């Protein structure tokens, strides 16, 4: 994110790209803060689930394995192609981090301390493809829905609502392009589904499946070794 920030094109020379959603919806003030409020609510719901679930450590391991895989893919995509700034109001993108490793390290700590959230005072640019906020919203929603009882329909409905409203607010704030949000939702949901198909089946015990599994989730066998099926 630190390197991608300094690779953002000059806003004065390269305007925002054409986008079917952003071109037709005006910027809504404080919409991004509303998206992060949705993320915070889902995070609290996830930790409540962790506290009461008897397989909390299994859930934790799966969460970090999936979110780690998703954000590794995100690091590759944001470094591969740098999109122009999606909103003209994002004037902080003109501020560069600097070339020295000390300046870059300070910026990394700055992002880490604020959990990458604007409500903590963190503002980043260049990390557009794909949306990290949408990825976090989606993975938290999927974990809450997967590991709560089917009888708790209200919680699951609320979780999905927070996921989709959060994604809408990200776009309404003009903080990401529409494709950033769509790709984030798709990659995160497919990674979650793929991991759990493996975790809930015996296919992973076959040699070919083990090789394919290792390529996607190198620590899968270690995390799932003692899980009862």
Q: What is the DSSP letter of 8?
A: P
The catalytic residues are 133, 176, 180
3-state secondary structure of 150: coil
Counts for the chain of helices (H) and strands (E), in that order: 9, 0
Token pair recorded at residue 69: 């895989």
In this structure, what is the dihedral angle of CA atoms 3, 6, 11, 14, given to the nearest 10 degrees?
-60
Token pair recorded at residue 208: 């070919």
Residue identified by tokens 């589904």 is 193
How many angstroms separate the first and last alpha carbons of the chain? 39
Count of all residues that appear for the chain in the document: 229
């Amino acid at each position: 994110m630190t390197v991608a920030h300094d690779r953002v094109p000059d806003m004065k020379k390269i305007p925002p790209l054409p986008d079917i959603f952003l071109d037709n919806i005006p910027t809504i003030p404080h919409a991004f803060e509303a998206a992060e409020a949705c993320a915070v609510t889902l995070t609290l719901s996830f930790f409540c689930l962790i506290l009461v679930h008897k397989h909390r450590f299994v859930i934790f391991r799966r969460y970090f394995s999936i979110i780690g895989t998703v954000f590794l893919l995100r690091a590759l995509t944001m470094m591969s192609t740098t999109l122009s700034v999606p909103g003209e109001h994002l004037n902080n993108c003109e501020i560069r981090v600097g070339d020295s490793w000390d300046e870059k390290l300070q910026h990394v700590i700055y992002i880490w301390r604020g959990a990458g959230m604007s409500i903590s005072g963190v503002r980043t640019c260049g990390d557009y493809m794909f949306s990290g906020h949408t990825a976090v919203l989606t993975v938290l929603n999927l974990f809450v829905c997967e590991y709560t009882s089917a009888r708790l329909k209200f919680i699951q409905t609320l979780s999905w609502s927070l996921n989709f409203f959060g994604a809408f607010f990200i776009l309404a704030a003009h903080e990401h392009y529409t494709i950033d949000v769509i790709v984030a939702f798709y990659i995160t949901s497919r990674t979650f589904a793929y991991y759990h198909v493996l975790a809930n089946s015996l296919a992973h015990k076959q040699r070919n499946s083990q090789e394919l599994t290792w390529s996607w989730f190198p620590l899968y066998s270690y995390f799932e070794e003692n899980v009862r099926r």
